[in-house]
Structure 1
């Protein structure tokens, strides 16, 4: 009986191809929307998580804005930050924007950054060519520099920049490495407020003397794995409050791990909201299936009457119409699944990331579509099973 019900349900769907297609359209739109949205949001979340992991989740970024009487942190206060328990190291950062001269050309608006040994130890920098600054370069405050890939291409037109010299504020620096352009560098540039792709990194103390600074406004604090982040932040805030005499808005602390948790939480909420909106299309599709099945019951009144007159039980009639409804919704779910995956990959290709097609989202979409077929197919199936055979044949 079950096998015959499946065969007859499928034959009826094939016989009414256009009507079946229009019926499942709502299911297709709903499922494809759910799959595409979940895949895109999860892919973006994974991309952001990966970039934050490269930047270092166990890191605090301090921006000391200072006060009118105290413009930034002193070396002593920076050392106090380094002495906090469960802190592996710190990297005070200074930066300035100026013109540089290289290969006989002047290039304006170049970001010059001073970094110390901890920065190179705890940050993963991708090199296109050459080498990074080592501990000897940094301790001796050598006039050596790393340049970004875009600046090297601009100044040297594809020539080898390693060993060439840059003039920064009249001081000559020898280029020892070219940094490859990465998403990590873009994010670090954005977070520091410096949007220029043209960057130069020199030893921290060297740049301090070059620009004549006597205070520090940016510090990165690298924490141990599984460190008590809240306790460390509390100690950092105490040092900063004492440094700036408890003045409001004199500093800000960015907790990378906390920021990542916030982003993931926001993405989860956005996913739920978007899926909820897309589920409305599934609801509309379910109503469409119910309407079509009710019409089908009316059209097939004679068929139902004949089957009952020949001894078919109400249960078998109900099962046939219910299977037909489930077939329609599941077929719409499969088509929507394929379409949703295609949409996710097209959007990901345009934006530039890898979508995340999880088995959970696929199972959820198919479960939803199957459930819609059951729920919205019950009423028509029940109506068909309750038809009186004599009345059905008389009406026909």
Structure 2
């Protein structure tokens, strides 16, 4: 009997028992769909994180207060950066393009009875280009605002809508704590970055933020939350980071442990990619267990099938079928169940990824490698778990099989 006849006979047998075949394939379908779906979600998460980090701006270094060890502790690091550090970086590091020191906080902002919780950002004019923001109407913070400690604010698009609705906010005044701020600009929508809604930001001059809202808390100058540094070219990022670190060590008179941390986008990306990669691997490994369970289900059903088809096996052997013929038929049946289940599972998994992409911020990440691996593994599982039942069937003595029937 040739191979095509084996396939035809195996297919006819499976079609004759539709319900049993469908339930047998269910484990493989769920396993394939889970593996492809989880890997797709993981890749989508990695792409999402990449976009979020890139939204900070091109070729940006972040100078944070506190040592690298302090950054990983679940406490607030000491505030060791001052506005003069940002000025020194801008003046003394040649590879730096622009420097944007920031003071951040959160306060309730109100306008004619409407209140909204604003994410305050004490900023300089350079913040606009370093962090990749755009002004939709009006203007941003100016150098003159910094010199005069002007009480002005540029509102994010969402907080402007919450406070003013359809009313034009330019020239209007909002209340913040015990001061009044004049709205001079409205920003273009930017969306969320790593969970922070940038459209709820309210930008005020960094000097006004320090003198009127948070107060001066350091004898060394105006403390800042962090400093964003734009570098001229990607190739100059390592040199700029090295120069900034040396400059701050001299300014802070450091002889032992740094009281600051300089992070690049690449370092932040690598750290987040490791986290998302580990989660993807964990999800895929968990989903792969379904494939193994599906394989056991195939072996179990095939063993039951051997018992039920004892008379058929005995009859076929009696009329000349060899052990190889019986072995091939049962193996092909197992492989067909796994392959068809794998294809259906692949379709379900890919469809699920597209649905997730439509309903969440994650992009649909279809991995050809994951699809090929899942289908290959499911076919291999069918072959592996189908061998034992097939050998059991091939070893049946035809006379004993006919008598037991």
TM over 0.5: yes
1:383 equivalent to 2:389? Answer no
Q: Deviations over 1:249-296 (max 9, x none)?
A: 733334332121122122222222222222222112112211221222
Q: Deviations over 1:137-193 (max 9, x none)?
A: 77887765320233222321322223434456645524332442512385476xxxx
Q: Does the 8 Å contact 2:101/2:123 carry over to 1?
A: yes
Q: Does the 8 Å contact 1:32/1:339 carry over to 2?
A: yes
Residue 140 of structure 2: which of 133, 145, 150 is its match? 133
* Offset at residue 90 of structure 1 (A): 1.4
* Offset at residue 349 of structure 1 (A): 5.3
1:208-357 correspondence runs (5 A): 214-217=221-224, 218-227=226-235, 229-246=237-254, 250-345=259-354, 347=356, 351-357=360-366
Alpha-carbon separation, structure 2, partners of 1:188 and 1:249:
31
Q: Does the 8 Å contact 2:100/2:130 carry over to 1?
A: no
* Offset at residue 41 of structure 1 (A): 1.5
Aligned to 1:161: 169
* Offset at residue 341 of structure 1 (A): 3.6
Aligned to 1:177: 186
How many residues are paired up? 385
Aligned to 1:9: 10
Q: Secondary structure at the match of 1:379?
A: helix
* Offset at residue 79 of structure 1 (A): 2.1
1:138-153 correspondence runs (5 A): 145-153=153-161
Aligned to 2:73: none
C-alpha spacing 1:60/1:77, structure 2 compared with 1 (3 Å): closer
Aligned to 2:124: 116
Q: Secondary structure at the match of 2:227?
A: strand
C-alpha spacing 1:76/1:148, structure 2 compared with 1 (3 Å): closer
Alpha-carbon separation, structure 1, partners of 2:132 and 2:282:
36
Aligned to 2:379: 370
Q: Secondary structure at the match of 1:89?
A: strand
Alpha-carbon separation, structure 2, partners of 1:385 and 1:313:
8
Q: Does the 8 Å contact 2:116/2:162 carry over to 1?
A: no
What's the TM-score, normalizing by structure 2?
0.81
The list of structure 1 runs, each at least 4 consecutive aligned residues, that deviate by more than 6 angstroms after superposition, is 134-143
Q: Does the 8 Å contact 2:157/2:186 carry over to 1?
A: no
Q: Does the 8 Å contact 1:37/1:271 carry over to 2?
A: yes
Alpha-carbon separation, structure 2, partners of 1:90 and 1:157:
34
Aligned to 1:34: 35
C-alpha spacing 1:210/1:237, structure 2 compared with 1 (3 Å): same
Alpha-carbon separation, structure 2, partners of 1:80 and 1:181:
28
Q: Secondary structure at the match of 2:155?
A: strand
C-alpha spacing 1:280/1:76, structure 2 compared with 1 (3 Å): closer
Structure 2: segments with no counterpart, 5+ residues: 68-77
C-alpha spacing 1:137/1:394, structure 2 compared with 1 (3 Å): farther
Residue 199 of structure 1: which of 198, 201, 212 is its match? 201
Q: CA RMSD in A?
A: 3.4
Q: Does the 8 Å contact 2:52/2:193 carry over to 1?
A: yes
What's the TM-score, normalizing by structure 1?
0.82
**Between 130-139 and 41-50, the greater mean CA deviation after superposition:** 130-139
Alpha-carbon separation, structure 1, partners of 2:266 and 2:63:
14
Aligned to 1:193: none
Aligned to 1:21: 22
Q: Does the 8 Å contact 1:59/1:257 carry over to 2?
A: no
C-alpha spacing 1:188/1:72, structure 2 compared with 1 (3 Å): farther
C-alpha spacing 1:327/1:82, structure 2 compared with 1 (3 Å): farther
* Offset at residue 328 of structure 1 (A): 0.8
Q: Secondary structure at the match of 1:227?
A: helix
